[in-house]
Structure formats: structure tokens, C-alpha cells
Structure 1
């Protein structure tokens, strides 16, 4: 993968509140009926922060809880427990429709499937203009059209007038996904939740969408939560990497630090399964063995213990919490060791 040489952009002032923060965020779903009813733990006790003008990649295999977190942040799901704070204010305190619309305008979502997110019966301009009318009601009709053309141009589609008059089926997958970003950008957002936005696209055009995310961060000051199962793309575009497994965050830190020196056996496993050809990494797990994660009425203990080659008795008894093991590098593992010179590990937030 070609190196874009993206320069990191500093996040918010340490004295200010993060752009968005979750504390003990939890979402459970009931499954089954009657006496067979059980609880699926999609997300458990997740603490996550995203700063201004920061790209955070949330990675893990299918079923790890990544998309559930995105939908919680987008307001599609309500938390079972825990809280989401936006610029220091709890989302649960936002009662009025005006406040909720303002938040959804600031934190839109770009979905995985670029075709199903667009209405095939309307031209692509319809969704952008409708979003502008809903979230930026101060604009006149002509101003909305001018703004729609501007955001279409900003995501790299031109001539904008021609693109906007097409139907979704007349666009390629990459063009449709760029329209999805244009719809989000029309709100003048502060954070875009990108749920595997390139996974359904050809490899040859994925790089263009990743470059677009980096450019929007630079030109529009937008932060991103980039959800992916592709470690290589996370390395390419993200400032920080957060690894999820079975509803828990198991490791987080600066992207290069996590990939060059993984602390959790699951991160090791991901690197072994999807190696990055740009920089071969030494991994300690030769293959994947054991049972899939148990997220329906799980028992205490590490949820990766059924597949972990480093499991010890403590892993079956106690659920590990994130500990600081390196420079802003955290892992939730009983056997993970801190970097040389690192002080005694302490519980932290990612």
C-alpha cells in the first residue's frame, strides 16, 4: 500500500473535554423467548475517547461489537448502561428534539454498503439536499443547492452538477461511497462514524477513500471513528488503534506502537492472520485454535481465554481491565508485560 505520509494532527487541548467520550458503555440484547431467554453482551464496559481532528480506528473480527459502538454513538441504539459524553455533556441529558438534531448533525454516520444507503428512486442530490434542509434550515433553496455542489466537489466528484443529477445505479461503488461522505459533510460535522466504508469496494479504489478521510480531517477539521477489520488500512490512516474482542476493548494506543509491539494475544493473532506487507512483523501465535467468543450470558474471566495460548488460571476467574503498559499503550491482559522502564501498570481509559 502506498504511503501517504499523513502528518499527525494534535488533538484537543489536554485541559478541554474530549470531542466524544464513553464511560462504561454497555449494550445488551435479549435473545430467545420464555425460559430460554438469554442476554447477548454486544458491548460491555467500554471506555473510549476521540479527540478533535483525530482518526481513531476500531478494529476486530466480525461480532466483536464494533458496529454496535458506532450505532450507540449515532443514537440508533440506547445504552443498556453507561454514558456517552459529547464535548463534556451527557447525551442522556439532551431531551429536546433541537438538541438531538444538533448532535446528529455533528456526528453523522457513513454506512458499509454505499448502495443501500442511497434511495434508488431519487437522484443522488436528493439525500444531500434533504439533509441540508433538515440540519441547516437557515439556508435558502438556492444556497442549499450551492452547498450540495460544494460538498460533492470536496469529496472529489466533478463536475458536481452532473454527478448530482445521476441515480445511484449510474455511479460506481466508490462514487456512491463518496456521495455518502458528501451527505455527512453537508452537516458540517465534527465527527464522522465510518462503519467499514471501504470493505465492499474493490482494492484498487479503497486507497482513494482512505485518502479522502485524511484530506477531510485536514481540510474540514473532521474527526473519524474508522471501523474496520483490516489492520493494514487502519495503519495507513489512523492516529490511534483500538482493538475489540467479544464486546471488550482489549488493546489501544498509537497505531504504530500497537502494531509494532502488540501486548494482547488477540492483537498478535490479528497480525498473524492479516500481515502488513509494508513492514513484516514478528508474531507469537502461529494459528487460530479454540472456541469462538462466548457473548451470550458470559461468565467472568477473559473472553479470549478459549483461544489464547498464554492462558493462566487467573484468566478463567477475573475479567482483565486495561492497564498502561507503554507510552499511551494499554492492554487488558493478565500476562501482558510492560515495556522496559515503564512504571507499575495501572488501570486506564483508552
Structure 2
């Protein structure tokens, strides 16, 4: 299990907290059952009014965590706490709906997350009917127009009558945020919300996220593989590899002083026009492992340039390597350890 501490006595309970969150999938036939370890012992927290970026390669378990937090998947083991209350105790449909209204998702593909048959007002109004039944028809229309204004679609009355095909990808993604905001959420789970948009449009969506954090106090779990966008919008960074959390902490600290060799690899893949081609060619040493019935040990060891014998037999736990900066690595040393140095890093812009 990862060694992230639980909430200290007297400390404020975070908005969302997971404890040893695990999700496995059974694969194979009747005579060859195997277990895919999509997420293992994930401990993370999201504070109130905070954007937490969850980064890693495809297949690292990021979207599985999103679906666990959205109650699309049921954990194999572990627990999710929302405002201190365990989600496993939400038995009734009413309680589950109340939670989902507080933690909606914004999906990756703006082209398929909105029903193309209806005008874009349909999804927002439907969400208001479902999650805010105290509003009458006129109030719902006014609230829908207000939400479109909040996400930057003005004049709102004109956008209410548009069909999805009449809007750009960025505008449709803003509609997705408006639908999520319709339930007055405290947390939005944003699964790669800008990855399918042009670079010129992404900055507007990232600004929208930071505005919602600063002005409305909405927290975000921002799932991404783009460390540049994470740096722009997020307060903290959580790095996943092969179903496990390998590093987390304040984003500026991690990007300036990455501790885990995998985080260093991710940073090495960020384009740097000053770097010679030889450096880029040697940045990666292979593909991520298949996490089917994994053995003990560090899952990154086959690609790691600093692996030692212990990495093959002992699974590393998250440990403090700096102020609020944790990493799961046998080799990397804390900032304050005398006479120790971390593996050399290339400077990035």
C-alpha cells in the first residue's frame, strides 16, 4: 500500500480522499483466468478549490481512477471518501445521485458527449431537471443561459438554440462544462478535456477551469498526458505509471525537481528546441509493462536507467523526499539528505 498519510487529527478533511483504491479486471477464458491490475493502492487527495492534475502515459490507470471516482466502476478494494463520507455506504439511488451531482464528469470527446439530435440547451435543462428539481421551467431557462455565459458562450440565448454541428469543438467542450456546472458541483472530473482540441483553443478551456476554481470554488481532477497544460492550470501533480501512483506533490516543485525516474522520462519527452538529437533518442528505454498478474517489485524497473537489485523484488512505497513531495523509488534520495544527489536532469523551459 502507498504510504500517504490519512488526514491528521484536527486538520481539515479534504474534499475527496482515496485510501488504497484498487480496481482489478478478470480477463482470459474459463481455464486461464488472469487479473489485470488497472489501479493498485492509489492514495490521493483533492482539496477544496484545488486543481489536481493526474498525468501518465496511456494505459497508466488515469481514466480508471476517473471512473472509480464517478462511481462508474466499483472498487475491487479500498475506499473513496467525499467530504469525509465513504462512497461505499451510498446504497440508495437517491444518495448516489446526490454524490454524482456534486462530482460530474467532463469527457474527452466534445463531438460525442452531446446528443447531436437535440439543441445544446437540451442537455443543460435536463441536468437541471434531474439535479435541481426546485427550479421551475422559467428558472431553468434563466439558469441555463447564465451557465452558458459563465463558460464564455455569449450571447447565451443564441447558443441555446444551436445544434452541436453548428458549433466548434471548443464551443462544444464549453457546453460540456456548462452541463457539469448545472448541478452546482463541488468537484469536476475532467478526463482529457482539451486533448482533442486545437492548441489555440486549449488555453481558453484551461483559463475556464482556473476561473471556476478561483471564482466559484470548484475543484478539479484534471486528467492529462500533457505536462505543459498541467503546469498552466494545476496546483498539484499526481503521476501514475502502470496502475500505481509513483510521485505527487506541488506541481512547480515536481517539474523543477522530479524525483521518480518515470517523471524524469515524461519531462524528457517535452519538446526542447535546445536539446541535441542524441539526448532525445536515449530518453526512453521501452514500452510500459502489461499489468496482468504483476510480480512484486517496481513496475518501472525494466525501463529505469538507475534500477538496482532491490527494484526487482521489493515494491517501492511513496515516501517523503521534500516538502509535501512524495515518490515511490528505492534509489532517489530526499533533497535534504547530506552527500546524496539525484540523477542528473536536463533543464527545461
TM-score between both structures, scaled by the size of structure 2: 0.91
Contact 2:242–2:288 under 8 Å retained in 1: no
Q: Quote the residue 2:91 is aligned against.
A: 95
User: Is the partner of 1:306 in helix, strand or coil?
Assistant: helix
1:46 aligns with 2:52: no
Aligned pairs, number: 328
2:288 match: secondary structure: coil
What is the 5 A alignment of 1:202-241?
A: 202-241=198-237
In the TM superposition, residue 292 of structure 1 has moved relative to its aligned partner by 2.5
Aligned mates of 2:27, 2:306 — CA distance in 1: 32
Given the alignment, which residue of 112, 119, 127 partners 2:115?
Answer: 119
1:36 is paired with a residue of what secondary structure?
coil
Matches of 1:14 and 1:151, distance apart in 2: 37
In 2, Cα distance between the equivalents of 1:19 and 1:263?
A: 27
Unmatched segments (≥5 aa) in structure 1 = 1-12, 343-350
> How many angstroms does 1:36 deviate by?
2.2
- Of 64, 86, 103 in structure 2, the residue corresponding to residue 107 of structure 1 is 103
Q: Distance in 2 between matches of 1:255 and 1:201?
A: 23
In the alignment, the residues of structure 2 paired with residue 160 and residue 276 of structure 1 have an alpha-carbon distance, to the nearest angstrom, of 41
Cα deviation code 1:286-331 (max 9, x no counterpart): 4111342230111110000111111111000011010000011000
Taking the TM superposition and a 5 Å limit, the aligned residue runs for 1:121-270 are 121-270=117-266
8 Å Cα contact 1:29/1:40 also seen in 2? yes
Unaligned runs of 5+ in 2: 1-8, 339-349
| Residues 1:201 and 1:151: Cα distance change in structure 2 (over 3 Å) | same
C-alpha offsets along residues 196-245 of structure 1, whole Å, 9 cap, x if unaligned? 00000000100000000000111111000000000000011100000000
Query: Relative to structure 1, is the Cα distance of residues 138 and 273 closer, same or farther in structure 2, using a 3 angstrom cutoff?
Result: same
Could you tell me the TM-score, scaled by structure 1's length? 0.90
Moved over 4 A (4+): 275-278
Cα separation, partners in 2 of 1:300 and 1:232, compared to 1, 3 Å? same
Q: RMSD over aligned Cα, in angstroms?
A: 2.0
